[in-house]
Amino acid sequence: AAIGNAIRAGNQGQIHCRLLVEGANNPVTDDAEMQLEQRGITILPDFVANAAAAFLFCGLLEKRLEPNLDSIFTVTSRQLRSTTRELLERARRQRVSNRRAAEEIAEARLRARPA
Summarize pLDDT for 86-95 with one digit per residue, the tens: 999 999 999 9
Mean pLDDT within 27-45:
96
pLDDT of residue 105: 96
pLDDT of residue 34: 95
- 102 versus 53: the higher-pLDDT residue is 102
Summarize pLDDT for 58-85 with one digit per residue, the tens: 888 888 888 888 988 888 899 899 999 9
A 10 A CB-CB count for 22 gives 22
pLDDT of residue 63: 86
pLDDT of residue 52: 80
Mean pLDDT within 106-114:
91
Judged by average pLDDT, the poorest of 28-32, 38-42, 75-79 is: 75-79
106 pLDDT above the threshold of 70: yes
Gap between the Cα atoms of 87 and 25, Å rounded? 19
Q: Structural domain boundaries of the chain?
A: 1-44, 45-115
